[in-house]
Amino acid sequence: MKLPASLYSRRAFLNGLIGGWLAALGSAFISPLLKYIVPPTPEPDQVTVPFADYKDMAPHTVKGFAWGNKPGLLQRTEAGEYVAFVGVCTHLDCNVSFVAEQRRFYCACHEGWYDENGLNVAGPPPSPLRRLSVSVEGDTLIVKRQG
Amino acid sequence: MESDVSRRRRAIAAAGLLLLGALVASGWLEARVQESPQASLKPAAAAPEQDKPAAPRPAKERMAVYVILAWVWLSIAVLLAFLRLRVREADRVHRMGLHRAGDGPPGAPGH
Amino acid sequence: MKALGAWIEDRLGLGPVAAFLAKKEVPCHRHTILYYTGSSILLFLGIQIVTGVLLALYYQPTLAEANASVVRIMTEMPLGWLVRSVHSWSATFMIALVFAHLLGIAFTKAYRKPREATWLTGVLLLGSSLAFGFTGYLLPWDELSLAATKVGTNLPKALPVIGTWLTQVMRAGDDVTGDTITRFFIVHVSVLPLALLAILGVHIFLVQRHGMSAPLEAERDKIKLPWLPFWPNFLLREAGVWFVLLGVLLTVAVFLAPGVGPQADLMAPAPEGIKPEWYFLFMFQTLKLFPARILGLNGELIAMLVMMAGMAAVLFLPFIDDRPFERKGKVITGLAWAGLAYAIGMSIWSLM
């Protein structure tokens, strides 16, 4: 006697149904875990620092401040204005330093250079340093995200 | 046969020593790179703190470690001599085709 | 004693395993030396587990304490400097042997049918060994390890779609912080060991299942090579090798103990002369040389893709070169030599 085909296909269908259901259930369990393992670390919208600490900077010098978990670099220009950068190399995230004698920013990790305006001029960095906007209000210096 | 084996063993030892030498040398080179400041064009690191000393300072502990090291090598040498004797014995049994008899690992059936 | 043995045998039924080991044969030929690399890796893995547990007794994986606790291990704990030195050098020896093991198998074409799965698990073991090295490097939390970790965890960012997420998972957020130390620590001491031991179990089982590979000609022509019983003839020889390696390890660890740099500062500029562990040097130098833009594309992304292609080629080598005995595989051998020469050359360059 020939077995009716539906006997087998019913089992295959149920197996597939259970397997697919388990996969969906599994991903439902896993997605909150994936959420959990990345903690939120929002970048600050703005940072305020006492102006007194930065008042006496000479032109073409740079002083650091904390931009969230990253170093910020506050620079005084020839005209006496303040410019701020996120002091993190755009190549692979190392912290940069300001070389006063050459008026350039330098990343020691892979020898990247930026000019005084934060433009990438030598080495592997693909883009300029990120700029932040600076304003002075009374005794405080406010650094904000640009754009 | 015997000389062939010993020649191969010597070659193995030489290759091993060469490899280890290269490894240690590379480690030493790295350590040197870490210590030596880079070319003057780049900014000088702002008064780098000295690395914390790695080796023990007390002369007594240092001496003790060296003595232990010497003792370790001595016991390894003696152990190698014993192992060599045992290997020869096992190889002789193997050549005679008797290795199956009564020389299984502990817990083997018939042990 | 005999009764105890019988009692255990009744419960576990390990007789066939012991019988298998008693019958295991090790062929003797000009590449027999390669057989020693596998068991020597196990030796160093054992040393890593023991010294790692010892270090974890005092190490504290937090931002404030990580560097200080390593300094404490090295200066205050009796022989702490030696335990750390052995852990560090044993890692170096183990990874060197893993590379030797892999290259030896690539050169002798021992990955061919039926040993493809053995090769796959082996490459996974290489990957977890490198992951051990990468996570372990951060734990002392000095300037160099912070900079190296920033670079290493930033690399996936260049990948499309999942890149940023991967970096965030590795770093616990957008930046390397104290949470990163904790994360690397738990991966280093728990996640990776579990993964490595599981894969290692499969790997060793497969090696036993297929038997030791013999040179191509012997396997093709079914020549019975001269052989040694694994037990005890070969094992005794291996024991000799282990003890010599152990002595060398201890000697190197005593005379070339690694130091620890000043505590990492998240706000400080990257120090001069940053470099990763020696087995990542060639990648490090490659990254340094890659220009920012290649034909208008992100150079970093291209570097990443080239590296991933290389890794994929290594992983799937048995399926790329799947002609069992027809050819000697001169192209693969040539490529393996070229890859080795490239890695060594780049590493030396980065040290100069």
Q: State yes or no: pLDDT of C152 exceeds 80.
A: yes
Instruction: Supply the pLDDT for residue C303.
Output: 81
Instruction: Supply the pLDDT for residue B3.
Output: 58
The answer to whether B97 and C114 are in contact (CB under 8 A) is: no
Say which CATH topology domain A46-145 has: Rieske Iron-sulfur Protein (2.102.10)
Give the span between the Cα atoms of C80 and C71, in whole angstroms.
9
Query: Count of A–C CB contacts within 8 Å?
Result: 93
Looking at chain A, the whole-number percentage of residues with pLDDT higher than 90 is 19
Residue found by looking up tokens 């703005």 in the block: A46
| Helical (H) or strand (E) element with A46 | strand A46-50
Q: State yes or no: pLDDT of B40 exceeds 60.
A: no
Instruction: Supply the pLDDT for residue B107.
Output: 42
The answer to whether C200 and C101 are in contact (CB under 8 A) is: no
Q: State yes or no: pLDDT of C114 exceeds 70.
A: yes
Q: State yes or no: pLDDT of A96 exceeds 60.
A: yes
Query: Count of A–B CB contacts within 8 Å?
Result: 7
The domains located in chain C, with CATH, are 28-264 (1.20.810.10)
| Residue range C77-91, pLDDT digits in tens | 888 999 999 999 999
The mean per-residue pLDDT over the stretch C63-70 comes to: 93
Residue found by looking up tokens 């020691």 in the block: A108
Looking at chain A, the whole-number percentage of residues with pLDDT higher than 70 is 94
Interface of C with A in 178-197 (CB under 8 A): 179
| Residue range C311-331, pLDDT digits in tens | 998 999 888 887 766 566 778
Of A37, A66, A107, the CB nearest to C270: A107
Task: State the pLDDT confidence band at C75, using cuts at 50, 70 and 90.
Answer: confident
Instruction: Supply the pLDDT for residue B108.
Output: 41
The dihedral through the CA atoms of B31, B37, B43, B48 has a sign that is: positive
Weakest mean pLDDT among A49-53, B76-80, C33-37, C285-289: C285-289
Of residues C227 and B49, more confidence is placed in C227
Give the span between the Cα atoms of A56 and C250, in whole angstroms.
56
| Chain B interface includes C247 (CB < 8 A) | yes
Of A37, A69, A96, the CB nearest to C269: A96
| Residue range C244-272, pLDDT digits in tens | 999 999 999 998 888 888 898 888 888 87
Residue type, B81: A
Nearest CA in chain C to B110: C19
Q: State yes or no: pLDDT of A68 exceeds 90.
A: no
Domain ranges for chain A? 1-39, 46-145
Concatenating the DSSP letter of every residue in B60-109 gives HHHHHHHHHHHHHHHHHHHHHHHHHHHHHHHHHHHHTT-TTSS-PPTT-T
How confident is the prediction for chain A on average, in pLDDT?
86
> Where do runs of H (alpha helix) occur along chain C?
2-12, 15-23, 35-56, 66-75, 80-108, 116-138, 143-154, 163-171, 178-186, 192-210, 216-220, 235-255, 281-289, 299-315, 317-320, 330-351
Task: State the pLDDT confidence band at B5, using cuts at 50, 70 and 90.
Answer: low
Shortest distance between the Cα of C229 and any Cα of chain B, in A, equals 8
Locate C160 and state its tokens: 């499309």
Looking at chain C, the whole-number percentage of residues with pLDDT higher than 90 is 43
The mean per-residue pLDDT over the stretch C39-46 comes to: 96
